[in-house]
Amino acid sequence: MYISQSLTLLILLSTVSAQTKSSKRGLVYVPSPKHPLDDRWWDSSTSDLTWYYNYGSQPSPAFSNNSNFQFVPMLWGAPSSSSDTTFLDDVTSLIKGGTNISYVLTFNEPDGGDNGGSNVDAQIAAETWIREVEPLKQLGVKLGAPAVTGAPTGFNWLQNFFTHCAGNCSADFLPVHWYGNFEGLASHVGQVNGTYQNMTMWVTEYAQDHATLEESQSFYNQSSQFFDRIDYITHYSYFGSFRSDASNVGPNAAMLTQKGDLTDIGSWYLGGTATGKVPKGAADKRGMFTGSSILIAMATIWTLL
């Protein structure tokens, strides 16, 4: 009897850990011109993805037939001219043209210039926000605060940003980036919530970078269960929608193998079961990225793809 109870418990527990579906899940993805067929994996009609972003203000043509895959425009950096309203105009046109835009994201790693971040001065960002982002509120769009890195510089930058806004940047939610282990992620999320208690959170880039396959998978499992459990995290997008040999966060974090097949993590993320496909890296590039755990950004990926 003792044995059969333990068995039941074991079965229950494994059912819980195999629960891989989540409506909070989205995609951060820049289509690869080199491997256009890889786009097919992210078709939202065959997965549980509900939203995506591509670091830009225009939807990805690859997903134009995915009506249930909501595009989230991003104002990546600050335009060079202080009267530029391209982002505002683009998003307004999309909405007027019938595209369902509920949210926008702003400023990708403005505090992380050296690793592909947008490197924007907090005052310029505040001025840009007031000109290009705040007016979208009138159209019913929810506004994402700047997506700073997970480093201490992120907290400082964000505080400066809100100071320069002087109450005129009404952010609705706070995007978070994290590269590192699960304990670090949980502690960071707690610190962000403690600092900005009025805002829900989106985790728009995260992975355990440069880890073993087992560590990467265990991190993936722990973090998705954590995000699904916490009410104030409403959306998350795993940083891994690329081939393992082009990954700047190490091969084991990637959702696609070097051949373009789904890895276990890739399949779990889409709501499927393990594929058993083991990702391999390119030549060992680890040295280039030491200490990069918090400063990974898209410009780097663009150059690698």
Ligand X SMILES: *[C@@H]1O[C@H](CO)[C@@H](O)[C@H](O)[C@H]1NC(C)=O
Residue keyed to tokens 């200490």: 291
Q: Using CB under 6 A, pick the residue from 9, 10, 13, 18 that binds ligand X.
A: 18
| Minimum gap (Å) between residue 167 Cβ and ligand X | 6
Of 103, 118, 33, the residue nearest 71 (C-alpha) = 103
- 15 binds ligand X per the rule CB under 6 A: no
| Minimum gap (Å) between residue 216 Cβ and ligand X | 9
| DSSP string across 257-272 | -TTS-B-HHHHHHTT-
Site map 79..108 versus ligand X, x via CB under 6 A: ---------------------x-x------
Stretch that binds ligand X, among 87-95, 106-114, 176-184, 192-200 (CB under 6 A): 192-200
Q: How far is CA 142 from the centre of its chain?
A: 17
Stretch that binds ligand X, among 4-12, 24-32, 169-177, 291-299 (CB under 6 A): 169-177
Residue keyed to tokens 């966060």: 249
| Minimum gap (Å) between residue 24 Cβ and ligand X | 12
Residue 182: CB atoms within 10 A of its CB come to: 18
**Looking at this protein, which amino acid is placed at residue 193?**
N
End-to-end CA distance of the chain: 56
| Minimum gap (Å) between residue 166 Cβ and ligand X | 4
Q: Residue 143 corresponds to which tokens in the numbers above? A: 């506004």
CB closest to ligand X, residue no: 232
Of 149, 179, 177, 175, the residue nearest 291 (C-alpha) = 179
d(CA 218, CA 196): 29
| Minimum gap (Å) between residue 33 Cβ and ligand X | 14
Question: 27 or 171, CB closer to ligand X?
Answer: 171
Site map 257..276 versus ligand X, x via CB under 6 A: -----------x-----x--
**Looking at this protein, which amino acid is placed at residue 22?**
S
- 1 binds ligand X per the rule CB under 6 A: no
Residue 231: CB atoms within 10 A of its CB come to: 6
Question: 7 or 13, CB closer to ligand X?
Answer: 13
Site map 133..162 versus ligand X, x via CB under 6 A: -----------------------------x
| Minimum gap (Å) between residue 109 Cβ and ligand X | 20
R_g of the chain, CA atoms, integer Å: 19
Q: What angle do CA 187, 188, 193 make, to 5 degrees?
A: 100
Q: Residue 155 corresponds to which tokens in the numbers above? A: 């907290």
> Which residues, at least 6 apart from 101, have a Cβ–Cβ distance to it below 8 Å?
70, 71, 72, 73, 91, 94, 95, 139, 141
Q: Using CB under 6 A, pick the residue from 166, 276, 287, 288 that binds ligand X.
A: 166
Site of interaction with ligand X (CB under 6 A): 17-18, 20, 61-62, 64-65, 70, 100, 102, 130, 162, 166-172, 193, 197-200, 214, 217-218, 221, 232, 268, 274
